[in-house]
Amino acid sequence: MLHHCALCHIDLDKVSVRRGGQVLLQDVSMHIHCGQLTVLIGQNGAGKTTLIRALLGQIPHTGVIRHVDSHGLNIPHLRTGYVPQVLQFDREMPLTVQDYLAAAVTKRPVWTGVSKKVREKVRGMLRDVNADGLADTPLGRCSGGELQRVLLALALEPAPDLLVLDEPVSGIDRNGMRMFLETLTDLRRTRHMAILLVSHDLRFVREYADHVVLLEKSVLTQGRPGEVFASPEFSAVFGTGGEEEEDS
């Protein structure tokens, strides 16, 4: 068992996933601290998506995943928000951002109209992710970065204990990526939630992450970005030019 720390956190203790005799994850132990941005890095096939699916309860695993308070006591009912890499939908569908979010927060069909109370709630959700100008925008006309903000707004309702993001800035331009990551930085400060982000962009990982975990079916090394990037494990996985190659 990992030693007790002074922050509330999501505690993974020897989490393993096997499928058809194949080991997908082996004894993964780590903390995802509240109020911090933890970034998961590794090559394709390292088990990052498998770990996310285990955290979301989508696949069976051995080991323990628990929400722990600052006194080391279990907090029941871990509430998790999830932002996928892409949203698959018909871009020709006559649906605004407001309609899309309203459908998620009310049982009333949006084609019957959106009440003033729900409109105010949706606009508040969008303000929280610096996207309050998108409410009346057709969903199909949103850029990649704007769509990710909409998905982030949805993942934050209701407020999660753990926010999981699976390469949410993949395919987004640099400005959109920076805006999204700065929004995450604000959220971790203001809401004190635990955030786990999967990313291949190592330059932004170095700049924004509080804690980095290098995965290769198990945890090879973890720590502050500079420590992980300077480690022999990082060089073995990415090569000495790994960071520069990701920036190109």
Give the model's pLDDT for residue 240: 65
- According to DSSP H, which parts of 110-201 are helical? 116-128, 144-155, 174-191
Q: pTM for this one? A: 0.86
Give the model's pLDDT for residue 29: 96
| From-to residues of CATH 3.40.50.300 in the chain | 1-79+162-248
Give CATH superfamily name and number for 1-79+162-248: P-loop containing nucleotide triphosphate hydrolases (3.40.50.300)
Question: Over the Cα atoms of the chain, what is R_g?
Answer: 19
Q: Answer whether 56's CB lies under 8 Å from 164's CB.
A: yes
How far apart CA 92 and CA 164 sit, in angstroms, is 29
Type of residue numbered 79: R
Q: Answer whether 237's CB lies under 8 Å from 42's CB.
A: yes
Per-residue pLDDT tens, the chain, 248 aa: give them.
344 444 688 999 999 999 988 999 999 999 999 989 999 999 999 999 999 999 999 999 999 999 887 777 788 878 899 998 878 887 888 899 999 999 888 877 766 778 889 999 999 999 999 898 999 999 999 988 899 999 999 999 988 889 999 988 777 888 888 888 899 988 888 888 899 999 989 999 999 999 999 999 999 999 999 999 999 999 999 986 555 444 43
Angle at CA of residue 141, ends 113 and 147, nearest 5°: 85
**Locus of tokens 């051995």:** 62
How far apart CA 187 and CA 3 sit, in angstroms, is 27
